[in-house]
């Protein structure tokens, strides 16, 4: 009860101090299912549902959701044309945004084509450093991969949906990403069984709400952190994940 009262006070103080009363404009990668993608009429996905529950339903804020190619979405926050996105914090993003505490924690797995000659050897990999010597495949704009794979041989593709066909054609060896995301898309795109998951996680990454320094909404982060803490405790975030298995 005390936490809820404190949250309400924080939000009320914020709303009182915001001059323009513009909606909180959140931008997303528009092709990143199941976390965010452009539906026929609106953005949808795990990130969208979590932020709707936290910011709109629980904190009472007016928010809007917009999808773009990922590099363009980040540029909109950097230039002040949007308020926030949700992703993995990096040094580059810290220059123009302030991060919340962790919203979602994700296990990062290694994925290879089923016919790869080193499949059995790769089953013992448990760190990114052990991937040296292989050709990794990822998409432009993935800030986590840009940093985590900076010493690797990476083929950067324009879009996420190009990765699996590229690998199946033997043009790359490995994709490293959230297991939840890749499993969802392998099934959706018809590559389940053609691209397989190695048993050991190689990293853990966390998605945070990143609000631009230019945005007046940067003031909500303390209340947002408490709201997410409550959602983890009451099982709301797990319930949202369960919808996208």
- For 177-189, how does the pLDDT look when each residue is reduced to its tens digit (9 = 90+)? 999 999 999 999 9
- Residue 85: which of 107, 70, 102 has the closest Cα? 70
**Is the pLDDT assigned to residue 136 strictly greater than 60?**
yes
DSSP helix/strand/coil, 42: coil
d(CA 188, CA 51): 24
- Quick one: pLDDT band at residue 205, thresholds 50, 70, 90? confident
- For the residues 101-117, what does the mean pLDDT come to? 96
Residue 233, both tokens: 């405790």
Confidence of residue 245 (pLDDT cuts 50, 70, 90): confident
SS3 45: coil
This prediction's pTM: 0.80
In angstroms, the CA 237 to CA 178 distance is 17
């Amino acid at each position: 009860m005390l936490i809820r009262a404190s949250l309400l006070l924080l939000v009320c103080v914020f709303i009182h101090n915001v001059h323009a009363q513009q909606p909180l404009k959140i931008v997303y990668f528009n092709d990143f299912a199941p976390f965010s993608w452009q539906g026929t009429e609106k953005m949808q996905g795990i990130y969208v549902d979590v932020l709707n529950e936290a910011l709109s339903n629980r904190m009472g804020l007016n928010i809007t959701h917009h999808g773009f190619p990922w590099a363009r979405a980040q540029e909109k926050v950097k230039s002040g044309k949007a308020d926030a996105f949700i992703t993995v914090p990096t040094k580059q993003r810290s220059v123009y945004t302030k991060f919340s505490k962790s919203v979602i924690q994700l296990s990062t797995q290694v994925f290879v084509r089923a016919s790869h000659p080193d499949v059995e050897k790769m089953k013992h990999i448990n760190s990114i450093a052990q991937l040296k010597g292989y050709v990794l495949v990822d998409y432009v704009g993935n800030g986590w991969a840009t940093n985590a794979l900076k010493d690797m041989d990476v083929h950067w593709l324009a879009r996420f949906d190009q990765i699996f066909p590229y690998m199946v054609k033997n043009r790359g060896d490995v994709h490293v990403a959230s297991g939840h995301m890749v499993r969802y898309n392998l099934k959706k795109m018809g590559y389940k069984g053609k691209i397989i998951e190695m048993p050991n996680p190689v990293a853990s990454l966390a998605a945070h709400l990143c609000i631009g320094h230019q945005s007046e909404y940067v003031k909500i982060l303390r209340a947002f952190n408490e709201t997410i803490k409550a959602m983890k405790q009451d099982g709301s975030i797990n319930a949202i994940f369960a919808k996208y298995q």
